[in-house]
Structure 1
Amino acid sequence: MSAPQTNIDKQQRRHRGPLIGMILVVIAVGIGFVWWLGYEAAESDPLPGPSDQIDGRTGETVPGDAPFTAPPEGTPPVQQSEQPTPGVPNQTVDPLTPADVPAVDPLPESSPIVPAN
């Protein structure tokens, strides 16, 4: 089945307005996006430089070129816990198992389930 009217010039004139409108909308959205990126970049906090370092032990701000000071003599060393973190399952996968092979046990010989071949 063919188109009932194939006047190309008339169709071109009818579609010119909507096509120009769509192009203007895309340009306006692009300008708005670039403006928004610039606004967010201008309003962001600058990264702290070497002069703005925070001591992890005390929480105080220290100069970036300050030397490292050892903890006082009476401070006990940090002990690593042997207990797993609550809510985190223990890893039972062999670390030598390749990532693309699932680490599952094969079905026992007495299993009623027959694997599909």
Structure 2
Amino acid sequence: MTRSRSWRAPLTAACVVCAVAALGLVSVASADLYLTGFPDSHFTDYDKAADTPKRILIWVEVAFVLAFLTLAFAPIGTRARAIGSLAAVVALALVALVQWIGIPWYFITHLGLDNGIGG
């Protein structure tokens, strides 16, 4: 057995796990967007402003699911699969950081939009 073949199965499994993780991020982000305005259906300035960027990032995360599945099952070399997987994981982490930290910071802290929290 060659050395590159010994890494094929673990890399494929890692790509599938990353695809499932990206799908989990999609479902959590979709639930966050779906529950905007809950419980009183009042949309704040932040909710209105952050709607489009959140939708765009959800579709980017869907693209990551497809990218990880492509990396897992495409007939490519082990080195290409490893480099592609590493690049995709780093990019997915950056997208998740933008979605969960960057958007709230920009719209709430930097622009000072009302997010409905307070007394």
Instruction: Output the TM-score relative to the length of structure 1.
Output: 0.31
Q: Which has the larger radius of gyration?
A: 1
Higher helix share: 2
Q: Which has the bigger relative contact order, CA under 8 A and spacing at least 6?
A: 2
